[in-house]
Amino acid sequence: MGSPKDHLPLTISEDTIRALFAFLNLPPPQSVSALSTTAEYHSIYVVSFATEVADAAFPMLSRSNKDCVELILRISGHHLPRIKTVNEVATMTWLQQNTQLPVAKVIRYDASTNNPLGHEFTLLQRLPGVAVSEIYDRLPPRLLDSLINQLVDIVQQIHAISWDGVSGLQFDHDGNIVPGPIVEETFWQQPDVVKYWPGSESVQSLNITGPYKCYTDYIAAMVRVYQHAIRLHPSLADMRDMLPRLDLFVNILSEFPELNKTRYFLAHKDLHFANIMCDEETGLITGILDWEFSSVVPATRWNPVGAFLWNGQYSEGAMAERDRLKTLFTECCAARGLSSLIEETRPNSVMQGAMQEAINYLRAIVEVRPRGQKEDRVPSWRATLESQLKILGI
């Protein structure tokens, strides 16, 4: 996919940001500065207020003993209009209400572009600490062990709450948090829809929506949008002979009850150390960031891209280090009698594993072909797709 950073908002002037606060009927900030951290989907600004002003304007925040209170303004690109912002805000609000996870409070948000910024935005509490990825190389072993142990607590807390079906989160008309459309980072996003697809197509036509009542409904929906892409895009013409088999794939899903044998729980899905804040002195986790692609998933999909415990570094040994930490995490779970945290995230049968692998490789082909990427890998991906369909009797 194209880099989301290529489509971030242009620099927003301080005057425009101040106009936003006036538009929101909030006091003018004491100062505004761009945060040096570069996020994939947001331009980020720090806005500060005198403590007495913040105490009056933002009563939902704990009173501060500092001279000023800082908030984070995240200004979104036009990647996935509306659904990404709503999903993240609803998820963070639900976590604030139902868990003890260190998640920033949402002060204001707008999932439309009808504001002085001309962009969707979230205004959040600034959490203390530093991203673990920034200090990873100097973390002493005892603090790394502490982080692993705390992450067991965090995963246990989220996984303890079961949901019905597969979904994102949203607000109903009364402000209650309810299942909503799914949001995936692998979606066709607006800039690439415009670049690679006919004008008849949209974010909605090329991606699944949801919610879905069960795992197989979720899989079937993905097959159908990928079939649509195969029928439409010239680069996928040599996949059209697969369309009848993909119809059979959808049709047989209801024939195997074990395919839906899973729990559903909320998952961050991108829980690497660049998204985890901590106190550098104590190792206490102080914040978990970037919930925009979180969703309620089948247990096997809680860590879909393998980001969990990645140190956030693009170094030669980063993946080996991630795998070492996964071993430590598994050992910590076992020592605490929580091996089920690992065990229930594995496919419950060969058939369930084949179903998921088939859709993974079908998605990969549909994702790269229209972009002219990874052509050398497509034949092996198709072979794997076909081998998984054979396991399902197709």
pLDDT along the chain (394 residues), means of 10: 70 96 98 83 92 91 82 95 98 98 98 97 97 97 98 98 98 98 96 97 97 99 99 98 98 95 98 97 97 98 97 95 98 98 97 98 98 97 99 97
* Cβ(390)–Cβ(355) below 8 Å: no
All domains of the chain in start order, with CATH: 4-126 (3.30.200.20), 131-162+263-343 (1.10.510.10)
- pLDDT at position 4, please? 74
Respond yes or no on whether the N-terminal peptide bond of residue 211 is cis (omega within 30° of 0). yes
Amino acid (1-letter code) at residue 362: L
Name the strand (E) or helix (H) holding 45: strand 42-50
Angle between helices 350-368 and 378-391 (to 10 degrees): 150
**Closest to 354 measured CA to CA, from 195, 175, 219, 180:** 219
Name the strand (E) or helix (H) holding 180: strand 177-180
